[in-house]
Amino acid sequence: MPFLPFALPEIGDEEIAEVVDTLKSGWVTTGPKAKRFEADFAAFLGDASLQCISVNSATAGLHLALEALGIGPGDEVITTTHTFTATAEVVRYLGADVKLVDCDPVTLNIDPAAVEAAIGPRTRAIVPVHFAGRAADMARLLAIAQRHGLKVVEDAAHALPTTCGGALVGTLASDATVFSFYANKTITTGEGGMLVTRDAALAARARVMRLHGISRDAFDRFSAQVPSWYYEIVAPGFKYNLTDIAAALGIHQLRRANDFQRKREHLVACYAQALQGLPLQLPAGPAPGDVHAWHLYVVRLAEGAPLGRDRLIEALYAQGIGCSVHYIPLHQQPYWRDRYGLRPGQFPNSQRAYERMLSLPLYTRMTQSDVERVAGALKAALLPL
């Protein structure tokens, strides 16, 4: 049987034609397609007050957002231990410190009570993560931030098109939201991301800092009808711009985002049916009335399962099925563990989830028979004769 990968992008003829058009146009770096993608993204979110800044990764977007908010040495930023290192490492780029907190035992999203308990005199911001595509409890988190005068930057790498309280993530009352378009995300540009904000000053700073601190976008400088060679370096910026080649993919992927979500939701329903009776804890669905993006499908071994997580992954690979673990928590990683003296016992919910969790294949090119194949392999491993 052919190998069933953990994730695959779905690229159609429209994306390919748009990329070819870009290559033929002669403008392959940040230019008209990137501007079009930004405008389309704002329209998708449906809020005219939002500004969208395309970047070459969600990591870049998080860095730019926190930099624009003035986070720096002596400051502290709270985020979850149950995330990829990019969420936290951008804080260290700026010389600030990270305060890690535990996750909710059911949703695996950041625990608002743990956030409030962790706030200290140096705390400046909170970075919640919408784990696997389910919205974090933003109502509570935003209320906490308002009470304590803190900034909020949402890591929405998993969360397009997630809703929270009926509103699309990206349109909430946070200071900024950052999406990812990496190869395995709900839409892809290969590599890429989008920083979304209502704060005009934050947006202006991010646009300058994403390209070397130059006072004018390259597209504006090189496409004007009058000589426009002059520019100024106003800050030591970064190289975080999204290319037009990548944006060409994004333009058409975005148009398919809602259809992709519906496909993922259908596959999740198939999994829920096929995995009945197995010693597994299935992932939490969305809050009532909300949309889950279903970037990941994360199951956990229940008490009494006949084998551990690592052996189960090996059994699946032996049957030609790819899977992953989301995540090895940051408190387990040498850098974060050693810098802040972290111990597993400080994060019991994340630690327990990590020891029992695995992410099953979930992508729009999957079929119901693929789901049944995964379920069959799980049954063979977990319900031995």
The reply to whether 50 and 131 lie within a common domain is yes
Residue 115 lies in a domain: yes
Question: What pLDDT is attached to residue 3?
Answer: 98
The reply to whether 50 and 194 lie within a common domain is yes
The reply to whether 144 and 176 lie within a common domain is yes
In this structure, are residues 196 and 202 in contact, taking their beta carbons and an 8 Å threshold?
no
Query: What is the DSSP-derived secondary structure letter of residue 142?
Result: H
The reply to whether 273 and 173 lie within a common domain is no
Residue 168 lies in a domain: yes
The reply to whether 184 and 302 lie within a common domain is no
What CATH number has the domain bearing residue 161?
3.40.640.10
Question: What pLDDT is attached to residue 217?
Answer: 65
The one catalytic residue in 185, 239, 263, 379 is 185
**Of 224, 255, 286, the domain-final residue:** 255
- C-alpha to C-alpha distance for 282 and 297, rounded to whole angstroms: 8
- C-alpha to C-alpha distance for 371 and 280, rounded to whole angstroms: 15
**Of 226, 255, 284, the domain-final residue:** 255
Number of domains present in the structure of the chain: 2
Residue 354 lies in a domain: yes
Grouping H, G, I as helix, E, B as strand and the rest as coil, residue 154 is strand
Question: What pLDDT is attached to residue 230?
Answer: 83
Intervals of the chain under pLDDT 70: 217-227, 385
Question: Does the active-site annotation cover 99?
Answer: no
The two tokens of residue 76 are 């502290």
Half-sphere exposure of 317 (CA within 13 A, CB side): 10
Domain, as residue range, for 335: 257-382
pLDDT tens sequence across 307-322 = 999 999 999 999 999 9
pLDDT tens sequence across 291-312 = 999 999 999 999 999 999 999 9
Residues 6+ apart with CB under 8 A from 206: 53, 61, 64, 65, 67, 68, 195, 197
The reply to whether 326 and 374 lie within a common domain is yes
The reply to whether 221 and 283 lie within a common domain is no
Kindly tell me the sign of the dihedral angle through the C-alpha atoms of 271, 276, 280, 286. Answer: positive
The reply to whether 310 and 226 lie within a common domain is no
The reply to whether 180 and 321 lie within a common domain is no
Question: What pLDDT is attached to residue 226?
Answer: 53
Residue 1 lies in a domain: no
The reply to whether 221 and 297 lie within a common domain is no
